[in-house]
Amino acid sequence: MDQFILQILNGLDKGSAYALIALGLTLIFGTLGVVNFAHGALFMLGAFCTVTLSRFLSFEVDTGEVMKTAWGTENPVTEPWIYGTLGEVTGQTVIDWAVPLSILFSIPVMIGIGVLMERGLIKHFYKRPHADQILVTFGLAIVLQEIIKYYFGANQIATPAPAAFVGSFDFGSLIGFDANSIIYPYWRIIYFCFSLVLIAAVFAFLQFTTFGMVVRAGMSDRETVGLLGINIDRRFTIMFGIAAAVAGLAGVMYTPIVSPNYHMGMDFLVISFVVVVVGGMGSLGGAVLAGFILGTLESFASMQFVLERLPGINQIVIYLAAIVILLTRPRGLLGRKGVMED
């Protein structure tokens, strides 16, 4: 039983990651109709916003002393510049809090990248065949990740959560189980809550603001909205920026869970497309729902009890579920008719 509850927690946690990435993708792909293969790269760029900020904060400056290294070279002794500005204790705390701090840092950066991408490139591809969109965004994704690789290397970069969030929360004793039977790391709980808030914010934005209303109208009938004298293009640009920011934030918060490397976007690309399509094209709610369903299924499939009976099921469960759902529900979970069906 405790194992079961643990895997539900895991499922929610994984699901929130999938949902968050799929949410950004579906804003672009499910609604603007652009097949954006660079979405994974946006997720990766978000994670590297954190890396950049933490590198910046802990950028080392010479202290004037020199030390002889064990491999025979003379290296100057260094310390992070921020120690010099804020003192060692405050400086250390700021570095420790690099991940939460980079939320603030990444939002403008990611919106900027998104807007730049849409204005500079994607805009010209709205009317082009999907095949051309795939080629150009895939090319862009490669270029972005190679740039990151050039500066940060291919190895994973450890980006721990602040010390205050290390450790785990004992759910078990809360609901009457033995102590330590169901414990869950604080940071993962934060990730889950953070994604719920972000998802709610995006929904509220689209549902309750005039801007959101116009965008939703534009999605279903771009031409009429244009005829009404509303500049829908500009709004779509802003939507692209928001989608990039959502993807980026998902990446920022994910760094303590999986140490980022330049390739992490590609690893998430396929799964995010599967989630969006299983959720149904053009449906934000579908994408979120599909994210949680697939995340939970993946968690349950990795239980030893299941694996003993169905070896290898953990490798394929997501795809198997996708096939079953798409065969029973023609347009995914909540898909709209006629979106990307031809």
Partner 1 sequence: MFGLNTKDTRLLLIVALLVVLAPFLLNPFPEGSALAQFNAGYPDLMQRFVIFGVFAIGFNILFGLTGYLSFGHAAFLGAGSYAGVWMLKLLTINVIPAIIISTIVAGMFALLIGFISLRRSGIYFSILTLAFAQMAFALAASVLTPITGGETGLQTSLNDPRILDAASEGGNIPAPSIFGLQMRDSFELSVGEWLFTFNTGYYLSGIIMVLAFYVAIRIFRSPFGLMLKAIKSNQQRMHYTGVNTRPYMLACFVISGMYAGLAGGLMVAMDPLAGAERMQWTASGEVVLMTILGGTGTLIGPVLGAGLIKYFENIFSKINDNLLHQWFAFLPDGMEEFMVTIIHPFIGKGWHLTLGLLFMGVVIFLPGGLVEGGQRIARLFSRKKPSGKDGATTRTEPAE
Partner 2 sequence: MSKTNVTRRGVLKTGAVAGAGLALPTYLAAGGHSGFANAPGDSSVTLGFNVPQTGPYADEGADELRAYELAVEHLNGGGDGGMLSTFSSQELSGNGILGRKVEYVTGDTQTKPDAARASARSMIEKDGAIMITGGSSSGVAVAVQALCQEAGIIFMAGLTHSNDTTGKDKKANGFRHFFNSYMSGAALAPILAANYGTSRKAYHLTADYNWGYTTEEAVRTSTEAMGWETVAAVKTPLAQTDFSSYVAPVLNSGADVLVLNHYGGNMVNSLTSAVQFGLRTAQANGQDFQIVVPLYSRLMAKGAGANVKGIFGSTNWHWSLPDAGSQAFTRSFGTKYGFPPSQAAHTCYVQTLLYADAVTRAGSFNPCAVGEALEGFQFDGLGNGPTLYRAEDHQCFKDVLVVKGKENPDNEFDLLEIVEVTPAAQVTYDASIFGGELGSCNPGA
Among partner 1, partner 2, none, partner that 132 touches (CB below 5 to 8 angstroms by kind)? partner 1
258 binding partner 2? (CB under 8 A): yes
| Residue among 64 and 312 whose Cβ is closer to partner 2 | 312
| Residue among 82 and 271 whose Cβ is closer to partner 1 | 271
Q: Please, are residues 145 and 263 in contact by the beta-carbon 8 Å criterion? A: yes
Rounded Cα gap, residues 317 and 204, in angstroms? 32
| Residue among 137 and 299 whose Cβ is closer to partner 2 | 299
Other C-beta atoms lying within 10 Å of the C-beta of residue 294 = 27
Q: Please, are residues 51 and 260 in contact by the beta-carbon 8 Å criterion? A: yes
C-alpha torsion angle, residues 210, 24, 57, 51 (rounded to 10):
-170
Q: Please, are residues 230 and 129 in contact by the beta-carbon 8 Å criterion? A: no
298 binding partner 2? (CB under 8 A): yes
Question: For partner 2, which residue of 167, 226, 330, 338 counts as binding (CB under 8 A)?
Answer: 167
For residue 67, what is the enclosing H or E element? strand 60-68
Rounded Cα gap, residues 161 and 32, in angstroms? 35
Give me the least distance between CB of 269 and partner 1, in Å please. 9
Distance in angstroms between the alpha carbons of the first and the last residue of the chain: 46
Write the single-letter amino acid at 223. Answer: E
| Residue among 75 and 315 whose Cβ is closer to partner 1 | 315
| Residue among 196 and 266 whose Cβ is closer to partner 1 | 266
Question: For partner 2, which residue of 168, 235, 326, 329 counts as binding (CB under 8 A)?
Answer: 168
185 binding partner 2? (CB under 8 A): yes
Rounded Cα gap, residues 325 and 330, in angstroms? 8
Rounded Cα gap, residues 64 and 5, in angstroms? 55
Q: How many CA atoms lie within 13 A of 38 on its CB side?
A: 26
Q: Which stretch binds partner 2 (CB under 8 A): 30-38, 97-105, 211-219, 252-260?
A: 252-260
14 binding partner 2? (CB under 8 A): yes
Count of positions on this chain that bind partner 2 (CB under 8 A): 51
| Residue among 90 and 180 whose Cβ is closer to partner 2 | 180
Among partner 2, partner 1, none, partner that 116 touches (CB below 5 to 8 angstroms by kind)? none
| Residue among 87 and 330 whose Cβ is closer to partner 1 | 330
9 binding partner 2? (CB under 8 A): yes
6 binding partner 2? (CB under 8 A): yes
DSSP conformation letters of 242-298: HHHHHHHHHHHHHTTTS---TTHHHHHHHHHHHHHHHH-TT-HHHHHHHHHHHHHHH
Among partner 1, partner 2, none, partner that 331 touches (CB below 5 to 8 angstroms by kind)? partner 1
Rounded Cα gap, residues 321 and 295, in angstroms? 11
Rounded Cα gap, residues 323 and 317, in angstroms? 10
Rounded Cα gap, residues 265 and 47, in angstroms? 10
Mask of contacts with partner 2, 299-338, x by CB under 8 A? x--xxx--x---xx-xx-----------------------
Give the binding site for partner 2 (CB under 8 A).
2-3, 6-7, 9-11, 13-14, 17, 69-73, 149, 153-158, 160, 166-168, 180-181, 183-185, 187-188, 256-259, 261, 263-264, 267, 298-299, 302-304, 307, 311-312, 314-315
